[in-house]
Amino acid sequence: MAVLQQRWDPLSRTTRFHTFACRPRRIFAAVTPTTRTTTTSRPDRNLVVVEPRLPSSSSTPSSVARRKTEIDPSELESTWAHRAWVTAGCTTLFVSLGKALLGSFQSHIWVEPSLAALLGYFLADLGSGVYHWGIDNYGGAETPFFGGQIAAFQGHHRFPWTITRRQFANNLHALARAVAFSVLPLDLWNADPVVHAFACAFAGCIMFSQQFHAWAHDNKTRLPRAVVALQDAGVLVSRAQHAAHHRAPYSNNYCIVSGAWNRFLDENKVLEAMEMVIFFRFGTRPRSWSEPGSSWAEEIQTSRADTEHLQAS
Amino acid sequence: MACISLPKPPITSLPTQNHRNPSPYALPISSKSSESQFYGIKLSTTAAFSTAPSSCPHIARRGLIVAKVSKGSSPPSFTLKDQDGKSVSLSKFKGKPVVVYFYPADETPGCTKQACAFRDSYEKFKKAGAEVIGISGDDTASHKAFVKKYRLPFTLLSDEGNKVRKDWGVPSDLFGTLPGRQTYVLDKKGVVQLIYNNQFQPEKHIDETLKLLQSL
């Protein structure tokens, strides 16, 4: 089945169309069933046998491998509603940016707005991590308001590569909607350039975090040079850092703007502490603690191009 | 500080938070840690943590709580059910060093790492002639599953209601939201030789206890 694919690349300023003339070949692979508990010293391996992280009994690795899961290509396409929400989000951001620039120009204050914008960018990475952690670990498709995002991220863990095939507005519309509603009141009732500089940078990075996320999944050779350079410089989340998020134990590297907070959050076990507090307070276990059943098994769909992509990366 | 002032209501009414808490792991832990840190290490080297004699285990006067077990003291005895439902008393282990480690709960990331680290070094503990006992508020069925899943070669005891945890004065972490992770090493005479507290570096408990056991 031919799938017409639109890839919108903001930095290259081009819109590329990819036509897959042949039906994509699929490779199914359960994520390596490893133990979640590793310790540095294991003097006697005969004594210590760790049960592997196998999928549930009803879903053995072979059955996972056999299972054919179709992804409806239309799920990856942008609709007019998606585009409308992205347009709305971008409009509120441009208004905020304009107010920040205009206010700075009129008041001749540039340092504070610049610092505010930097702070916004820096904190957006933290915000993206906390949000990503929350929807990865708690709730479900039926959760009010966040259900769609939770289901989408669950699907993303099974089919990580699809994010690179998702059209631009399809990928960003949910966050764009949140940004539109959050920034609009500021646009209407606030004129402080410092506030706008912060809001514009923070909300902009949050909204485009899904694009940064998609780039973190893509092959280096298929990304614009500018994006690769920004990833390598740590301005955008790197492919290597985000790849670690998709490996067991699936409980680290949640931040998807610059990834600057990942090391701090992981080394200090901040999110693990929050999971523990939630567990003892509400009795809710995060998904990352549980055995990865079939829903955590990554299934790799690949066309010939994708195979090359995987080999290259 | 050994003494911690508690707001009213005092210790006896604290478990009432359970009605708001659906978690079976609700914390009736009363002692807030002033020593246990988020990422920190506490090696108890003095008896300053407690001013209470070990012969007077229950002290909750005028809203003051005193940690009972300190280095050089004999901890309160206990009898708890192990993973097979058998009653186990601390006194049973007299005559050999004992490592008693309190941990938050079975099947949580840090506790699994800690249990597996104890398991992986178990031969070293046996060589030192020491017994390892883990204690948490989980029930025996949970312990049984935990032991089976990770092939743990040592005893896990169910301290449902966290009575022993309270009696021993194990401090909680993160402003009382988490049960503390604290390890005690008792010598052959049942006297505490080491108290080690570290919530988020669970494997370090093994290194510290082994270091101490090898010096005994």
C-alpha angle A209-A213-A218 in degrees, rounded to nearest 5:
145
User: What does the CA dihedral B45, B196, B15, A281 come to, rounded to 10 degrees?
Assistant: 140
**Residue A189 in 3-state DSSP?**
helix
Give the per-residue pLDDT at B196.
95
Average pLDDT, stretch A167-194?
96
Give the per-residue pLDDT at B208.
94
| Tokens read off for A32 | 């390596």
A186-213: b (≥16 Cβ within 10 Å) or e: bbeeeebbbbbbbbbbbbbbbbbbbbbb
Q: Is pLDDT of A294 > 70?
A: no
Give the per-residue pLDDT at B18.
37
Give the per-residue pLDDT at A297.
53
Of A54, A288, A295, which is closest to residue A158 (Cα–Cα)?
A295
Q: Does B186 touch chain A (CB under 8 A)?
A: no
Average pLDDT, stretch A162-183?
95
Give the per-residue pLDDT at A133.
96
B28-61: b (≥16 Cβ within 10 Å) or e: bbbbbbebbeeeeebebeeeebbebebeebebee
Residues of A in contact with B110 (CB under 8 A): 269, 272, 276
Give the per-residue pLDDT at A282.
93
Are the C-beta atoms of residues A99 and A196 closer than 8 Å to each other? yes
| Tokens read off for B197 | 């507290």
Q: Is pLDDT of A226 > 90?
A: yes
Question: Which residue spans within chain A are E strands per DSSP?
Answer: 3-9, 14-20
Q: Could you give the CA distance from residue A212 to residue A192 in angstroms, rounded to a whole number?
A: 29
φ, ψ of residue B89 to 5 degrees: the values are -110, 150
Residues of A in contact with B146 (CB under 8 A): none
Of A222, A292, A253, which is closest to residue A29 (Cα–Cα)?
A292
Give the per-residue pLDDT at A153.
87
| Tokens read off for A7 | 């890839």
A219/chain B closest Cα distance in angstroms? 33
Average pLDDT, stretch A174-197?
96
Specify the higher pLDDT residue, A158 or A137. A137
Write out pLDDT tens, residues A53-99: 333 333 344 444 444 455 677 888 999 999 999 999 999 999 999 99
Q: Is pLDDT of A289 > 50?
A: yes
Q: How confident is the model at residue A10 (pLDDT cuts 50, 70, 90)?
A: very low
Average pLDDT, stretch A199-208?
98
Average pLDDT, stretch A17-29?
36
Residue A294 is given by DSSP the state: G
Displacement of CA A30 from its chain's centroid (Å): 21
Neighbours of B197 (CB within 10 A): 23
Highest mean pLDDT among A5-14, A223-232, B31-40, B53-62: A223-232
Specify the higher pLDDT residue, A51 or B160. B160
The HSE-up count of residue A291 (CA atoms within 13 Å, CB side) is 13
Q: Does B132 touch chain A (CB under 8 A)?
A: no
Q: What is the mean pLDDT of chain A?
A: 78
Neighbours of B160 (CB within 10 A): 15
Give the per-residue pLDDT at B94.
86
- Contacts for A188 with CB less than 8 Å, ≥ 6 apart: none
Displacement of CA B157 from its chain's centroid (Å): 11
A271-303: b (≥16 Cβ within 10 Å) or e: bbbbbbebbbbeeeebbbbeebebebbbbbbeb
Neighbours of A32 (CB within 10 A): 12
Q: Could you give the CA distance from residue B25 to residue B160 in angstroms, rounded to a whole number?
A: 9
Specify the higher pLDDT residue, A54 or A185. A185
| Tokens read off for B137 | 């508020």
Give the per-residue pLDDT at A292.
59
Residue showing tokens 């883990």: B134
Are the C-beta atoms of residues B128 and B213 closer than 8 Å to each other? yes
Q: Could you give the CA distance from residue B101 to residue B122 in angstroms, rounded to a whole number?
A: 14
B86/chain A closest Cα distance in angstroms? 24
Strand partners, A20: A3
Q: Does B23 touch chain A (CB under 8 A)?
A: yes
Are B23 and A283 inside 8 Å of each other by CB? yes
Are A37 and B113 inside 8 Å of each other by CB? yes
Inter-chain Cβ pairs, chain A and chain B, closer than 8 A: 94
pTM, full prediction: 0.72
Neighbours of A39 (CB within 10 A): 19
Neighbours of A17 (CB within 10 A): 8
Give the per-residue pLDDT at B10.
35
> What residues of chain B score a pLDDT lower than 70?
1-67
Residues 44-103 of B with CB under 8 A from A: none
The HSE-up count of residue A302 (CA atoms within 13 Å, CB side) is 15
| Tokens read off for A167 | 């059209």
Give the per-residue pLDDT at B62.
38
Assembly ipTM = 0.71
**Sheet containing strand B60-61, strands side by side:** B3-5, B64-66, B60-61
Residues of B in contact with A37 (CB under 8 A): 112-113, 116, 150
Give the per-residue pLDDT at A161.
85
Is the previous residue joined to B97 through a cis bond, with omega within 30 degrees of 0? Answer: no
Give the per-residue pLDDT at A248.
85
Name which of A239-243, A290-294, B115-119 the model is least confident about.
Answer: A290-294
Q: Is pLDDT of A23 > 90?
A: no
Name which of A7-16, A139-148, A246-255, A291-300 the model is least confident about.
Answer: A7-16
Highest mean pLDDT among A19-28, A71-80, A226-235: A226-235
Strand partners, A8: A15
Q: Which of B27, B110, B121 has the CB atom closest to A41's CB atom?
A: B121
Give the per-residue pLDDT at A293.
52
Of B178, B64, B149, B161, which is closest to residue A49 (Cα–Cα)?
B149
Give the per-residue pLDDT at A104.
95
**Sheet containing strand B98-102, strands side by side:** B42-43, B192-197, B182-186, B98-102, B131-136, B155-158, B79-82, B87-89
Are the C-beta atoms of residues A187 and A95 closer than 8 Å to each other? yes
Which is it for strands B182-186 and B192-197: parallel, antiparallel or unpaired? antiparallel
